[in-house]
């Protein structure tokens, strides 16, 4: 099949290490072998991704699950017809503190679990003359909701004790180094880079808040996805194949250099550390633990947290909202073609294991 005859897919992503399956599928020719011509569009922010999907300038994107849900519900403008047919990654985010906060919070000989770390962080926050600026990558993000959940469980009011600001992922480390923010919650490799550069220290990975938590998902524009099921199936198969490759413990040795090349240009050592088999505190999962499956329970948790913070009406039908966006039925043919075991008997066990964070 010639390049011109392959189906075009305009795919949006940010400069993040958990973009690896998309980059691997494109660079290793997995999409091409499945009859696709995927054009990668590296965007400067999550807002750009959401807007371009809504206006038909992108067909698919690596997306934050809460943002996909928020966009579909019209919480950030006119409702966009977005669907989530699969997960792309799990874990990988860090809560990273600047030097001043790190000296106070981490100055202890005892190892800190998530709640102990949160309480020490809260004590430091309450000793500041004004609420310190703490960055998240988008208001409707896993980072924001996990951070709020952890802070609240630690006795910190996320609406009063910190001043939340939105900073695109690739800008959080420079902002920390410049002293513009006191810390951030962002995806890999930016927390690891802050630690390597000495601009900050990682307090904890988000897997300490919610073990095996979902992170990025595939979001597709509904008109595009439903117009050609075969094209969508090919996209899903390419990503599933790439996830398996990225999950291999030795994959970091060749995946990290791909991420360091154009178009992402990520820092090599920091990215390698965050991939499976790396040395970072927090690692990204791509395939293990059914990271590829779009669990309704995960979407429901995000929606419940959004309602908790007053972002959703109290009477909203969360199950209906979840099932309108999360579409595992669209993934089923591709998963079958790739020989994956479809969650059925293990679904209840998985949801007990992953349905909610590790503390209340």
Domain ranges of the chain: 3-90+214-354, 94-208
What's the CATH code, domain 3-90+214-354?
3.40.190.10
pLDDT at residue 360, rounded to an integer: 52
Residues 53, 12 contacting (CB under 8 angstroms): yes
pLDDT at residue 238, rounded to an integer: 98
Complete DSSP assignment for 181-240: -SEEEE-TTHHHHHHHHTSEEEEEEGGGTSTT-B--EEEEEHHHHHH-HHHHHHHHHHHH
pLDDT per residue of the chain (360 residues) written in tens, 0 to 9: 666 668 999 999 999 999 999 999 999 999 999 999 999 999 999 999 999 999 999 999 999 999 999 999 999 876 778 999 999 999 999 999 999 999 999 998 888 999 999 999 999 999 999 999 999 999 999 999 999 999 999 999 999 999 999 999 999 999 999 999 999 999 999 999 999 999 999 999 999 999 999 999 999 999 999 999 999 999 999 999 999 999 999 999 999 999 999 999 999 999 999 999 999 999 999 999 999 999 999 999 999 999 999 999 999 999 999 999 999 999 999 999 999 999 874 444 444 434 456 555
Kindly state the tokens that stand for 256. 């990290």
Distance CA 46, CA 52 (A): 10
Residues 93, 142 contacting (CB under 8 angstroms): yes
Complete DSSP assignment for 136-172: ES-SSSHHHHHHHHHHHHTT--TTTTSEEEE--HHHH
Distance CA 283, CA 281 (A): 7
pLDDT at residue 203, rounded to an integer: 97
pLDDT at residue 1, rounded to an integer: 60
What's the CATH code, domain 94-208?
3.40.190.10
Kindly state the tokens that stand for 316. 């909203």
Distance CA 226, CA 222 (A): 6
Evaluate whether 3-90+214-354 and 94-208 have a shared fold: yes
Element of type H or E holding 132: none
Which residues neighbour 169 within 8 Å (Cβ) at sequence distance 6 or greater? 14, 15, 16, 137, 186, 187, 190
pLDDT at residue 3, rounded to an integer: 65
pLDDT at residue 80, rounded to an integer: 76
- CA within 13 Å, CB half, 123: 11
């Amino acid at each position: 099949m010639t390049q011109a005859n392959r189906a075009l897919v305009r795919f949006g992503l940010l400069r993040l290490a958990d973009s690896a399956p998309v980059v691997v599928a494109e660079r290793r020719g997995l999409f091409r072998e499945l009859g696709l011509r995927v054009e990668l569009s590296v965007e400067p922010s999550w807002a750009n991704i959401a807007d371009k999907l809504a206006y038909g300038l992108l067909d698919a994107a690596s997306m934050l699950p809460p943002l996909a849900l928020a966009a579909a519900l019209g919480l950030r403008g006119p409702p966009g017809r977005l669907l989530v047919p699969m997960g792309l990654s799990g874990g990988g985010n860090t809560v990273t503190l600047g030097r001043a906060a790190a000296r106070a919070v981490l100055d202890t000989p005892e190892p800190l679990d998530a709640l102990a770390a949160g309480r020490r962080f809260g004590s430091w926050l309450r000793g500041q003359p004004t609420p310190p600026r703490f960055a998240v990558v988008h208001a409707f993000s896993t980072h924001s909701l996990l951070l709020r959940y952890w802070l609240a469980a630690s006795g910190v009011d996320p609406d009063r004790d910190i001043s939340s600001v939105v900073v695109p992922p690739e800008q959080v480390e420079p902002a920390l180094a410049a002293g513009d923010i006191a810390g951030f919650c962002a995806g890999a490799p930016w927390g690891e880079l802050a630690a390597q550069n000495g601009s900050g220290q990682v307090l904890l990975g988000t897997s300490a808040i919610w073990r095996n938590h979902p992170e990025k998902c595939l979001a597709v524009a509904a008109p595009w996805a439903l117009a050609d099921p075969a094209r969508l199936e090919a996209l899903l198969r390419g990503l599933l194949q790439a996830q398996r490759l990225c999950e291999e413990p030795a994959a970091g040795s060749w995946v990290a250099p791909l991420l360091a090349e154009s178009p992402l240009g990520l820092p090599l050592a920091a990215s390698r550390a965050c991939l499976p088999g790396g040395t970072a505190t927090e690692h990204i999962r791509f395939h293990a633990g059914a990271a590829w499956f779009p669990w309704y329970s995960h979407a429901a948790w995000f929606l419940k947290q959004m309602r908790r913070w007053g972002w959703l009406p109290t009477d909203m039908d969360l199950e209906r909202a979840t099932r309108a966006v999360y579409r595992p039925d669209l993934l089923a043919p591709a998963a079958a073609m790739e020989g994956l075991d479809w969650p059925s008997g293990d679904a209840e066990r998985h949801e007990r294991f992953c349905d909610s964070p590790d503390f209340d």
